[in-house]
Amino acid sequence: MKTRKRFILAKIESTYGVDAVPTVANDSVLTTQLSRTIYEGNTVERNLDQSTLGLDEQINTGPYATISFGVEIAGAGTAGDAPPWGYLLRGSGFAETVDAGVSVEYDPASDEYDSLTIHYWSDGERQIITGCRGTVQFMMNAGTLPMMMFTFTGLYQRPTSETIVTPDPDAFLVPLPVNKRNTPTCTLDSYEAVMQALDVDFANDVTYQNFVNLEEVFLVDRAPAGSVTLLAPRIGTKDLFSLMESDTGVIKSAFQLVHGTVAGNIITLDAPKAQLSGITETDINGELGYQSNLRLLPDLGDDELKITVA
């Protein structure tokens, strides 16, 4: 079996844990760095009394599967259409709002989470993983392709041998690299920052639970945070230290990053109340840079990070 011959199909479930039956025509996902843990879970040992030395059997008390992969960030091609990766965000604790013909917005949710069925294909074998919920990390680094890294946990089913199918991920656009031409806006507290790198982990707390009459993957909390690396401005231009210092009061600043310039392929990340936490000097090709931790705090609630596709 070839490791390169692998792909996934994914689809929103109408009923939790029931196979949504994704199809190659509508639900193929264009991934990178795809991997899975086929069978895991909490285990117990029997610890039997014996007349000889040796191990006892180990029993999995609640099997589940995990799957991780990257997806390039690009738009839908038409403003107001959901991007082909939108349902992956819905399975990661985001709610989707469509403004027809204008934009699609993804905001954090605190309840009524969607779930996904994921079919993992590996060279003629398929594992169906239902009830998937997960988390996502956003990486927007200059000179690279913008990326989301997803990790999903779902209900275990044994892989089976199947007639191989051919995926059809044509809905995924070729991404634009992060640079001055393609990424026209990066502002922090109204300052037009020169950004080298942004890494934001939505950090959902994902738990698998298996009780009598209940088996489900829950999202129980989140702690969105990350880091941002900027060319260091002179204090007279922008005093980043005043934003960072929390001993005399916490400063919360609006952060925005816009990637893309053509309608249908513009992605905006908005954090209305970002807190800088610490600054470390770093060398950026001979120029002084500052790397700071970035904590994304809620404003009115369920608004720590908004992703808009227009």
Asked whether residue 278 is domain-assigned, the answer is: yes
Secondary structure (DSSP) of 21-68: ---HHHHEE--EEEEEEEEE--EEE-----SS-----EEESS-EEEEE
Question: Is residue 93 one of the residues assigned to a domain?
Answer: yes
- Give the pLDDT score at 23: 96
Closest to 138 (Cα-Cα) out of 281, 6, 270: 270
Q: Which residue segment(s) compose the domain that 15 sits in? A: 6-41+61-309
- pLDDT reported for residue 247: 85
Quick one: pLDDT at residue 176?
98
74 assigned to some structural domain: yes
Residue 114 lies in a domain: yes
Q: pTM of the predicted model, to two decimals?
A: 0.95
Instruction: Output the pLDDT for position 248.
Output: 82
Q: How many separate domains does the chain show?
A: 1
Residue 46 forms part of a structural domain:
no
Which 3 state secondary structure label does DSSP give 233?
A: coil
Domain annotation covers residue 56: no
Per-residue pLDDT of the chain (310 residues; tens, 9 = 90+): 878 889 999 999 999 999 999 999 999 999 999 999 999 999 999 999 999 998 999 999 999 999 999 999 999 999 999 999 999 999 999 999 999 999 999 999 999 999 999 999 998 899 999 999 999 999 999 999 999 999 999 999 999 999 889 999 999 999 999 999 999 999 999 999 999 999 999 999 999 999 999 999 999 999 999 999 999 999 999 999 999 888 888 999 999 999 999 999 999 999 999 999 989 999 999 999 999 999 999 999 999 999 999 9
Dihedral angle, C-alpha 88, 139, 74, 219, nearest 10 °: 10
48 within some domain: no
Residue 138 to residues 73, 88, 226, 229: CA-CA distances in angstroms?
A: 9, 13, 9, 14
Predicted pLDDT at 238: 94
- How crowded is the C-beta side of 279, counted as CA atoms within 13 Å? 18
- Residue 50 inside a domain? The answer is no
